[in-house]
């Protein structure tokens, strides 16, 4: 599984970032205080074509986040949604609460991590 880096995130639409572009920003957006002491994996199962979809997981440990491609064997929590909705969550255009209520977001595992993601990286606040 390869780590997602900025160089791998190609800009196809400057007004709407791709999933890869948003994922590449996560390590810089992390709040070290919010992730201190955590050792968890968040699986992202993003529906969509091309750069709008794919499977990724966020490894959160040692005060930082690593973004990896693929499915993790045993994630702490899984989030299933479209790639476009992920971009909207990460950009503040959609809240987790609304996405969940509208059945655009499915959570399994330790769903309490979803609210912590808001503090960790400003996701869907």
pLDDT tens-place string over residues 100-121 = 999 999 999 999 898 888 788 8
Domain edges within the chain? 6-119
Question: Which CATH number describes the domain made up of 6-119?
Answer: 3.30.1050.10
Which of the pair, 31 or 83, is modelled with greater confidence?
83
- 5-37 pLDDT, tens digit per residue, is 433 333 344 577 889 999 999 999 888 888 888
- Give CA separation, 39 vs 30, 35, 113, 122, in Å: 14, 8, 11, 19
pLDDT tens digits, one per residue of 36-80: 889 999 999 999 987 789 999 999 998 889 999 999 999 999 999
Q: Which of 85, 87, 59 is CA-nearest to residue 72?
A: 59
Reported pTM: 0.83
- The model's confidence at residue 81, banded by pLDDT at 50, 70 and 90, is very high
């Amino acid at each position: 599984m390869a780590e997602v880096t900025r160089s791998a995130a190609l800009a196809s639409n400057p007004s709407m970032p791709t999933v890869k572009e948003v994922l590449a920003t996560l390590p810089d957006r992390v709040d070290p205080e919010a992730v201190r002491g955590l050792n968890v994996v968040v699986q992202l199962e993003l529906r969509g074509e091309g750069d709008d979809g794919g499977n990724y997981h966020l490894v959160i440990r040692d005060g930082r986040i690593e973004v990896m491609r693929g499915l993790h064997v045993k994630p702490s929590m899984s989030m299933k949604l479209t790639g476009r909705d992920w971009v909207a969550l990460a950009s503040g255009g959609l809240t987790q609460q609304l996405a969940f209520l509208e059945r655009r977001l499915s959570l399994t595992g330790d769903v309490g991590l979803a609210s912590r993601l808001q503090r960790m990286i400003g996701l869907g606040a």
